Amino acid sequence: MIRAAVLVSGDGGKLQTILDSMYFGEIPNFELTAVICTEPDAYALRRAGNSGVQAFVVEPSLFPTKLSYSMAISNKLKDMDIDLVVLAGFNMPLGVISTQFRKRIIGVYPSLIPAFVNCDESPARAALERGCRVTGATAYFADIDGNIGPIIAQQAVEIKPNDTPETLERRIMEEAEWKLLPRAIILYCQNRLEIHGERVVIKPAIPQN
């Protein structure tokens, strides 16, 4: 059984996709042990509570540095024997979490990596301004520095002529991010992901008898 924790900061839309996948029995060998949130009034906490998942608030303002904050989160994860960390809209640097849970942190980013990584504006707005015909989202493993590392899966989203940054962001979220994150977790829990250098190899599924 894979014991997982979700790190979240806001509404918890990505968290809800995980909870829904759990409800429908789509993620094998998986236990969502805890949700850890940066904000005491975040709606994500209600989502966790409604699903019977233990939730904790760890506020950044209570810590003198970002490093001490990440150490507190990491220690909490280790105390709960967490195997997999899922980033679902977490807005803080990972710090020591990325080293202490190396190759065990999964997240999703709203562009087709390597396009528009670390852009100053939203990736959706940047894609529109560059005249892209297609954008999308990427599920990935965090690297040792807490940045986007090896790619697990990608989902393309067509850009429509009348799209605005807001409508495009929404479609990327609904058509790509919300689908990719549970899919990546499923592959991880099926032990089908292998990291070879900077590449992720997805092993074939084992046939069920």
Q: Is 168 exposed, middle or buried (0-12, 13-18, 19+ CB in 10 A)?
A: buried
Q: Are residues 126 and 141 in the same domain?
A: yes
Q: Are residues 13 and 86 in the same domain?
A: yes
**In contact, 44 and 32? CB cutoff 8 Å:** no
Q: Are residues 95 and 116 in the same domain?
A: no
With vertex at residue 175, the alpha carbon angle to CA 137 and CA 2, rounded to the nearest 5 degrees, is: 70
Last residue of one domain, picked from the residues 101, 134, 169: 101
Last residue of one domain, picked from the residues 47, 77, 101: 101
Q: How many residues does the chain have?
A: 209
Query: For position 21, which CATH number holds?
Result: 3.40.50.170
165: containing domain: 107-209
Residue from 110, 121, 127 nearest 164 by CA? 127
What is the identity of the amino acid at 23? Y
Residue 208 pLDDT: 65
Q: Where are the alpha helices (DSSP H) in the chain?
A: 13-23, 43-50, 66-79, 97-100, 123-129, 165-172, 178-189
Point out which residues pair with 135 in neighbouring strands: 157
**In contact, 141 and 85? CB cutoff 8 Å:** no
Q: Are residues 158 and 180 in the same domain?
A: yes
Q: Are residues 164 and 141 in the same domain?
A: yes
End-to-end C-alpha distance for the chain, whole angstroms:
20
Q: Are residues 45 and 132 in the same domain?
A: no
Q: Are residues 113 and 91 in the same domain?
A: no
Q: Are residues 120 and 194 in the same domain?
A: yes
Q: Are residues 95 and 155 in the same domain?
A: no
**Count of domains forming the chain:** 2
Residue 21 pLDDT: 96
Q: Are residues 114 and 149 in the same domain?
A: yes
**In contact, 205 and 139? CB cutoff 8 Å:** no
Q: Are residues 97 and 117 in the same domain?
A: no
* Model confidence, pTM: 0.95
Specify the 3-state DSSP secondary structure of 174: helix
Residue 149 pLDDT: 96
Per-residue pLDDT tens digits of the chain, which is 209 residues long: 999 999 999 899 999 999 999 999 999 999 999 999 999 999 999 999 999 999 999 999 999 999 999 999 999 999 999 999 999 999 999 999 999 999 999 999 999 999 998 777 799 999 999 999 999 999 999 999 999 999 999 999 999 999 999 999 999 999 999 999 999 999 999 999 999 999 999 999 877 66
Q: Are residues 88 and 131 in the same domain?
A: no
Last residue of one domain, picked from the residues 101, 121, 156: 101
Q: How many angstroms separate the CA atoms of 142 and 157, rounded?
A: 23
**In contact, 169 and 142? CB cutoff 8 Å:** no
